[in-house]
């Protein structure tokens, strides 16, 4: 067993011997040594191996780079504090025990149509889902993956999908400062300006739910794995219905009016 002598600035009064893991430490305080090790563990680099994940397939990264990449991304999203701090939506997510072994995830991915251009998605099948598992995940492309990523303006209490512009390009005050917009077919599309955030929020919910249904109606193998088409289509209809109900409960019933069309 190797011996490690701590620097003078990490030592205190009485000399003690402490055995930690595979190393022995000499330190002048039993309390200080544990404090030092706590700080060092906190600053240590993240590794999926410290969270029960096991890559039990030889040369996995070389022989199955895309699937291995999806698995590694999942391990980081569910266990890396720094990643979750940058992307809070992944806080409290977790992987089922089966998928902690790469061999199981690899087998599932191969059977379920994984290919280049598709991403592992846990949010479509079950609304509000936090678990990565065979019965809650599907493979979809970026367009479908981002379809349900509802965004709220930073540092804003405005409804999701609603922006506020106080002045126009001429410097005059906007008559209708609340704007509704979201991406359709890869480009931002505006759905008008409104006098109140509630009115804009209602329009967003109506137009976004209709857009989700239209995407579901036109779903194809280009959008997701062939074996997942029916699952994804049903799930998208469910998301559209949920968004519509939430919007009407918060802002009022949809009124018959000219639809902008997607």
- Tell which of 90, 111, 132 closes a domain: 111
pLDDT given for residue 78 in this prediction: 96
159 and 221 fall within a common domain: yes
The first and second tokens of residue 63, run together, are 């022989």
39 and 55 fall within a common domain: no
163 domain residue, yes or no: yes
197 and 238 fall within a common domain: yes
83 CB-near residues (< 8 Å, 6+ apart): 46, 76, 77, 90
Closest CA to 159 of 105, 202, 119: 202
- Tell which of 56, 84, 111 closes a domain: 111
> Which ranges constitute the DSSP H helices of 171-228?
197-217
pLDDT given for residue 166 in this prediction: 87
207 and 240 fall within a common domain: yes
132 domain residue, yes or no: no
163 and 177 fall within a common domain: yes
The first and second tokens of residue 193, run together, are 């300006």
pLDDT given for residue 225 in this prediction: 95
pTM above threshold 0.95: no
Closest CA to 78 of 122, 108, 111: 122
75 domain residue, yes or no: yes
13 and 83 fall within a common domain: no
In angstroms, the Cα distances linking 121 to 71, 73, 149 are 12, 11, 11
- Tell which of 62, 96, 111 closes a domain: 111
191 and 208 fall within a common domain: yes
22 and 53 fall within a common domain: no
pLDDT given for residue 258 in this prediction: 45
81 and 157 fall within a common domain: no
Q: What is the largest CA-CA distance in the chain?
A: 81
251 CB-near residues (< 8 Å, 6+ apart): 159, 198, 199, 201, 202, 205
- 18-43 b/e with 16+ CB inside 10 Å = b? beeeeeebebebeebbeebbeeeeee
120 domain residue, yes or no: no
pLDDT given for residue 42 in this prediction: 56
pLDDT given for residue 39 in this prediction: 54
In which domain, by residue range, is 190 found? Answer: 147-251
**Predicted confidence pLDDT, tens digits, the chain (262 residues):** 444 555 555 444 344 444 444 455 555 555 665 665 555 555 557 788 888 999 999 999 999 999 999 999 999 999 999 999 999 999 999 999 999 999 999 999 999 999 999 999 999 999 999 999 999 999 999 999 999 877 555 557 888 889 999 888 888 888 899 999 998 888 889 999 999 999 999 999 999 999 999 999 999 999 999 999 999 999 999 999 999 999 999 988 877 554 444 3
98 domain residue, yes or no: yes
Closest CA to 119 of 238, 230, 228: 228
pLDDT given for residue 154 in this prediction: 57
24 and 64 fall within a common domain: no
Place of tokens 């639809």: 259
- How many structural domains does the chain have? 3
260 domain residue, yes or no: no
189 and 229 fall within a common domain: yes
140 domain residue, yes or no: no
What is the distance between the alpha carbons of residues 142 and 106, in angstroms, rounded to a whole number? 21
232 domain residue, yes or no: yes
28 and 55 fall within a common domain: no
């Amino acid at each position: 067993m190797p011996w490690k002598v701590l620097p003078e600035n990490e030592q205190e009064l009485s000399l003690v011997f402490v055995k930690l893991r595979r190393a022995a430490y000499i330190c002048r305080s039993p309390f200080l040594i544990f404090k030092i090790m706590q700080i060092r563990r906190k600053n240590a680099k993240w590794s999926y191996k410290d969270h029960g994940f096991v890559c039990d397939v030889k040369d996995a990264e070389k022989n199955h780079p895309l699937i291995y990449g999806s698995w590694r991304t999942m391990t980081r999203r569910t266990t890396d504090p720094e990643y979750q701090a940058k992307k809070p939506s992944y806080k409290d997510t977790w992987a089922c025990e089966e998928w902690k072994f790469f061999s199981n995830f690899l087998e599932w991915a191969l059977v379920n149509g994984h290919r280049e251009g598709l991403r592992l998605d846990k949010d479509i099948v079950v609304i509000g889902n936090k678990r990565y598992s065979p019965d809650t995940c599907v493979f979809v492309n970026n367009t479908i993956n981002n379809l349900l990523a509802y965004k709220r303006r930073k540092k804003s209490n405005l409804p999701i999908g609603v922006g506020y512009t106080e002045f126009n390009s001429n410097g005059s005050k906007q008559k209708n400062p609340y704007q509704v917009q979201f991406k359709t077919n890869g480009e931002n599309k505006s759905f008008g300006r409104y006098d109140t955030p509630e009115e804009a929020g209602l329009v967003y919910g109506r137009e976004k739910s209709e857009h989700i249904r239209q995407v579901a109606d036109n779903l194809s193998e280009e959008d997701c794995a062939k074996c997942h088409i029916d699952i994804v289509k049903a799930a998208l209809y469910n998301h559209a219905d949920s968004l519509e109900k939430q919007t009407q409960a918060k802002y009022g019933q949809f009124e018959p009016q000219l639809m902008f069309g997607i």
